[in-house]
């Protein structure tokens, strides 16, 4: 796909809408008022070991609200990343409130921490966690794969805009698994749910690549999954143990879509927990140095973040203790431990901290992975910081800049039409860049203050916005 992009299609698509979620590089962006762009390496140097370890975990949190267990993961164990789980039909604005609440709970208020990666499974069809007002209903990947390249790109771009508006910065998609048409009905994890873009490596590589590029164009991190493939197994690793792929080799064409995703700069690759008889028959892929490091990192040249498939609830990994699962994955060369089960988190984190404290080689492994996660965050615009705002009720340059950081929109330091459009999308009102009574009422509802009938920004509302932004730093 990296060589398949048609310049004309991209040029037309890039002019489609204001760039919420983009990380622009304009001259105005270079030095907005009060904004500091942290570097990943500098931030890592200021982190404690516990904070570094926290960056290596992505914990489950209900898409409909923040549970006490997720709250504890963020505040007690310094976990730096969340996956929104379950199903929500509450819409963009309600989801943004959940995402913002998670960001407030994270340790990013301290000088040595970073904003959360907030992720979800937004593939389409049977696997679309976030729905409701403001979210398009996405068809299955198999249907998406029948669309023209330009249609798929534009659609993925729109879906990414919706995610960013909801405070979600990583999509655990696209699925790059290849399932033959004859085997699809028997392939429980992928084909049964039509999660594949097509039935040949070339189609999956091309269509999955356009989905990836559309997401990336809006500043949403993409996750190519499930390496090296789940398209050749019968059973689902989430619900079965002993799942084995008996046909895939390290040279199989089933790996080609992942090569495309890597060439197209997917920031994340997810590794499955199935066994691969012809690559490493002795370890599940997520625990295999041969698959994670020798194949994905070294042979395929992936330099981004390697994330595990679920290591919390998946039936495939229940034979290992939670602590062992985390250690095995990191020892294999993985970077980001995903667990949908918050009860597994304390033992996982404690085991990683303990080993890092006693083993210098493993400590170096932790530092290496923490840096990769922080570099991914930096590329997504998540290491930006602003000084606390003075609550003065004025939409001054500092407040406008802080609002633009929060919105991940172009930073100009002024209350311009693009900023108004981005904010309108977040608060769930008409998106036209004109601030009138409807926008004002929606913002007051979003901030949790009473409606006062004002038709434009007033000091009371701006003061509430300033307090809100101070809580999001």
Query: If DSSP codes are grouped into helix, strand and coil, which group holds residue 371?
Result: helix
Q: Are residues 274 and 291 in the same domain?
A: yes
For residue 173, give the CATH number of its domain: 3.20.20.300
CA–CA distance, 364 with 355 (Å, rounded to integer): 11
**Is residue 431 in a domain?**
yes
Q: Are residues 328 and 422 in the same domain?
A: no
154 closest CA partner among 359, 358, 11: 11
Q: What is the pLDDT of residue 28?
A: 35
**Is residue 466 in a domain?**
yes
Domain end: 331, 349, 379, which one? 379
CA–CA distance, 240 with 247 (Å, rounded to integer): 19
Q: What is the pLDDT of residue 22?
A: 39
**Is residue 166 in a domain?**
yes
Q: What is the pLDDT of residue 20?
A: 39
Q: What is the pLDDT of residue 25?
A: 35
Contact at 8 Å (CB) between 37 and 383? Answer: yes
Q: Are residues 305 and 248 in the same domain?
A: yes
Q: What is the pLDDT of residue 37?
A: 65
Residues 6 or more apart whose Cβ sits within 8 Å of residue 15: none
Q: Are residues 463 and 362 in the same domain?
A: no
Domain end: 379, 407, 435, which one? 379
Q: What is the pLDDT of residue 4?
A: 40
Mean pLDDT, residues 98-102: 95
Q: What is the pLDDT of residue 108?
A: 58
Q: Are residues 369 and 428 in the same domain?
A: no
Q: Are residues 216 and 329 in the same domain?
A: yes
Q: Which of 1-15, 48-62, 139-153, 306-320 has the lowest mean pLDDT?
A: 1-15
Burial class (CB in 10 A: 0-12, 13-18, 19+), 126: exposed
* 24-49: burial string, b at 16+ Cβ within 10 Å, e else: eeeeebeebbbbeebebeebbeebeb
Q: Are residues 430 and 371 in the same domain?
A: no
Q: How confident is the model at residue 473 (pLDDT cuts 50, 70, 90)?
A: confident
Domain with 131, as residue range(s), is: 39-379
Domain end: 349, 379, 409, which one? 379
Q: What is the pLDDT of residue 68?
A: 93
Beta bridge partners of 127: 124
CA–CA distance, 42 with 57 (Å, rounded to integer): 20
Burial class (CB in 10 A: 0-12, 13-18, 19+), 344: buried
**Is residue 12 in a domain?**
no
Mean pLDDT of the residues in the chain: 91
Q: Are residues 162 and 139 in the same domain?
A: yes
Query: pLDDT by residue (tens digit) across 81-90?
Result: 999 999 999 9
Mean pLDDT, residues 164-183: 97
Q: What is the pLDDT of residue 410?
A: 86
Q: What is the pLDDT of residue 36?
A: 62
Q: Are residues 186 and 285 in the same domain?
A: yes
Total number of domains constituting the chain: 2
Residues 6 or more apart whose Cβ sits within 8 Å of residue 143: 124, 125, 194
Contact at 8 Å (CB) between 264 and 208? Answer: no
* Helix 92-105 × helix 68-76 angle, to 10°: 40
| Residue tagged 């909801």 (tokens) | 166
Q: Where are the beta strands (DSSP E) in 3-100?
A: 35-37, 57-62, 81-85
Query: pLDDT by residue (tens digit) across 291-327?
Result: 999 999 999 999 999 999 999 999 999 999 999 999 9
Query: pLDDT by residue (tens digit) across 449-472?
Result: 999 999 999 999 999 999 999 988
Q: Are residues 321 and 415 in the same domain?
A: no
**Is residue 398 in a domain?**
yes
Beta bridge partners of 117: 81
Query: pLDDT by residue (tens digit) across 405-436?
Result: 999 888 899 999 999 999 999 999 999 999 99
pLDDT of residue 243 exceeding 50 = yes
Q: Are residues 191 and 296 in the same domain?
A: yes
Pairing of strands 280-284, 275-276: antiparallel
Burial class (CB in 10 A: 0-12, 13-18, 19+), 224: buried
Query: Structure pTM?
Result: 0.91
Judged by phi (left if over 0) then psi (alpha if -120 to 50, else beta), residue 143 lies in alpha
Pull the structure tokens for residue 160: 């990414």
Q: Where are the beta strands (DSSP E) in 17-125?
A: 35-37, 57-62, 81-85, 117-120, 122-124
Q: Which of 18-22, 138-142, 319-323 has the lowest mean pLDDT?
A: 18-22
């Amino acid at each position: 796909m990296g060589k398949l992009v048609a310049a004309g299609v991209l040029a037309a698509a890039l002019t489609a809408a204001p760039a919420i979620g983009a990380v622009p590089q304009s001259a105005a962006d270079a030095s907005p008022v009060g904004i500091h762009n942290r570097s990943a390496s500098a931030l890592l140097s200021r982190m404690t070991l516990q904070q570094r370890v926290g960056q290596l975990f992505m914990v489950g949190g209900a898409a409909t609200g923040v549970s006490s267990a997720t709250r504890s993961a963020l505040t007690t164990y310094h976990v730096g990343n969340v996956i929104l789980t379950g199903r929500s039909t509450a819409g963009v604005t309600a989801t943004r409130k959940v995402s913002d609440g998670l960001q407030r709970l994270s340790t990013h208020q301290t000088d040595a921490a970073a904003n959360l990666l907030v992720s979800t499974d937004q593939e389409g069809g049977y696997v679309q966690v976030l729905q409701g007002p403001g979210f398009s209903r996405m068809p299955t990947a198999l249907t998406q794969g029948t669309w023209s390249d330009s249609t798929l790109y534009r659609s993925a771009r729109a879906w990414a805009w919706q995610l960013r508006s909801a405070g979600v910065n990583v999509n655990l998609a696209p699925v790059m698994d290849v399932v033959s048409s004859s085997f699809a009905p028997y392939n429980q994890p992928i084909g049964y749910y039509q999660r594949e873009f097509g039935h040949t490596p070339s189609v999956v590589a091309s269509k999955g690549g356009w989905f990836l590029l559309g997401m990336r164009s809006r500043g949403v991190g993409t996750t190519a999954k499930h390496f090296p493939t789940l398209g050749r197994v019968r059973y689902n690793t989430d619900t079965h143990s002993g799942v084995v792929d008996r046909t895939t080799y390290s040279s199989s064409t089933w790996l080609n879509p992942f090569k495309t995703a890597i060439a197209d700069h997917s920031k994340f690759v997810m590794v499955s927990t199935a066994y691969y008889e012809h690559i490493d028959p002795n370890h599940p892929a997520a625990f295999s140095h041969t698959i994670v490091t020798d194949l994905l990192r070294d042979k395929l040249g992936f330099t981004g973040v390697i994330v595990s498939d679920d290591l919390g609830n998946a039936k495939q990994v229940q034979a290992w203790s939670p602590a062992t699962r985390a250690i095995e994955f990191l020892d294999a060369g993985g970077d980001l431990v995903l667990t949908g089960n918050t009860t597994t988190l304390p033992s996982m984190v404690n085991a990683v901290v303990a080993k890092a404290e006693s083993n210098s080689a493993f400590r170096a492994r932790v530092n290496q992975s923490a840096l990769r996660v922080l570099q991914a965050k930096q590329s997504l615009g998540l290491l930006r910081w602003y000084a606390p705002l003075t609550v003065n009720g004025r939409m001054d340059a500092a407040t406008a800049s802080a609002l633009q950081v929060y919105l991940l929109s172009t930073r100009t330091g002024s209350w311009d039409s693009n900023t108004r459009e981005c904010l309108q999308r977040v608060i769930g009102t008409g998106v036209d860049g004109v601030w009138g009574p409807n926008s004002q009422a929606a913002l007051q509802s979003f901030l949790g203050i009473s409606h006062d009938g004002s038709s434009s920004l007033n000091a009371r509302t701006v003061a509430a916005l300033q307090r809100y932004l101070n809580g999001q730093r």
